[in-house]
Structure 1
Amino acid sequence: MKYIIFLRAINVGGNRKIKMLDLREVLTANAYQNVTTYIQSGNVIAEHAETSYEWVQENIAALIEDAFGFDVPAIVFPLDEYVQGILQKPFEEEKLMVHFLNQVPEAIDLDTLKELGKDQQDSCEITGRFLYVTLSAGVSDSIYSNKLVERVLHVKATARNWRTVTTMQEKSK
């Protein structure tokens, strides 16, 4: 099965450094095939015989812990779920950020997140495990930081801009 994989907070500010070549080697040595990476921030496309994305999330996190010595959450999507998430994009704005979630959050938690942002310049909508955020200014000015999203929704998350989201889809073809 083909997967789109996002690693949280690697190679940011000189912390938790992982060379993409090393990451590809670790994954390939552990039954992942056709491993491709995009830029240095932990965007991966790979195939694996396992059909459970939850298993793949846990497996990749464990492999990174073993090989590189630090905890890095992996957010994994089967390709068909990823494509569906993109097709169901709720906003037409060009400035979008997407938080990828390791699981679908509880509705009450999403209501809490929306309530926190109701008087803010940005807005959010969820589609499955995709949390779409409009950016009226920029990522650093948005209330919807990854830390807030994880705390309020009780999930693991990592965010990417719309360009990275669509590039990953193109590279997966």
Structure 2
Amino acid sequence: MGIYIALLRGINVSGQKIIKMDRLRNLFESLNYQSVVTYIQSGNVVFQTAEGDTALIRQTIEHGIKETFEFDVTVVVRTNDELEESIRNNPYDRIELNADDRIYLSYLAERPSEEAIDRLLAFKNDSDDYEVIGREVYILCRTGYGKSLFSNNFLEKKLGVAATTRNWQSVNKIADLCRTIDNN
């Protein structure tokens, strides 16, 4: 059985699309997923399933959320191996960061076109740095994510794909949850 991560976009933000984590766990269990664990209120769910098609898993979860909570939520699904690869691929892991520097990782629902990635180059600046690697955008924020040009909405608009962003600490905590499930 594979370990998967569902990253929900835009839940429990500013009083919008409220989903309690116990209800979210119950939904995943009702979809026949096992070892369901959530991490913080922003919609991170680690689970196991024998289903190997991540596109089908995504559709199933999005449909289940719509049926249960009566609103649409974009879900990005990664396998445990893909999550670990995204951690290994961090281009900012090899440089010395300043005390105020923060790393964020935007998980994209699909790989953006080369043309879209090229268009993003026009927005390089001194405050932030970014790198697109596969279906992930690594963002180095020097002035805080709230002031960064490379917000989730900006990336979705410029790249033309759905995305959801997590801070580096959350990415590593989710990976730790996957490792715990894998060791059981």
TM-score > 0.5, shorter chain as reference:
yes
Tell me which residue corresponds to 1:104. Answer: 111
Give matches, 1:55-70, under 5 Å: 55-70=56-71
Distance (whole Å) between structure 1 residues aligned to residue 150 and residue 125 of structure 2: 12
Q: Please say if residues 114 and 124 of structure 1, whose CA atoms lie closer than 8 Å, have aligned partners that are also in contact.
A: no
Which amino acid in 2 is paired with 1:115? Answer: A
Which amino acid in 1 is paired with 2:158? Answer: V
Which amino acid in 1 is paired with 2:29? Answer: T
Distance (whole Å) between structure 2 residues aligned to residue 67 and residue 160 of structure 1: 25
Backbone CA RMSD of aligned residues:
1.1
CA deviation after TM superposition for structure 1 residue 52, in Å: 1.2
Give matches, 1:103-122, under 5 Å: 103-116=110-123, 118-122=124-128
Report the TM-score when normalising by structure 1: 0.96
Q: Is the aligned partner of 1:95 residue 2:96?
A: no
Give matches, 1:67-146, under 5 Å: 67-92=68-93, 93=97, 95-116=102-123, 118-146=124-152
Tell me which residue corresponds to 1:168. Answer: 174
Report the TM-score when normalising by structure 2: 0.90
CA deviation after TM superposition for structure 1 residue 120, in Å: 4.2
Q: Is the aligned partner of 1:2 residue 2:9?
A: no
Q: Which runs of 5+ in 2 are unaligned?
A: 180-184
Tell me which residue corresponds to 2:17. Answer: 16
Distance (whole Å) between structure 2 residues aligned to residue 48 and residue 162 of structure 1: 26
Which amino acid in 2 is paired with 1:99? Answer: S
Where 2:92 maps in the other structure, the secondary structure is: coil
Distance (whole Å) between structure 2 residues aligned to residue 32 and residue 85 of structure 1: 23
- The percentage of aligned residue pairs carrying the same residue is 35
Tell me which residue corresponds to 1:36. Answer: 37
Q: Which runs of 5+ in 1 are unaligned?
A: none
Q: Please say if residues 64 and 71 of structure 1, whose CA atoms lie closer than 8 Å, have aligned partners that are also in contact.
A: yes
- The size of the alignment, in residue pairs, is 172
CA deviation after TM superposition for structure 1 residue 13, in Å: 1.1
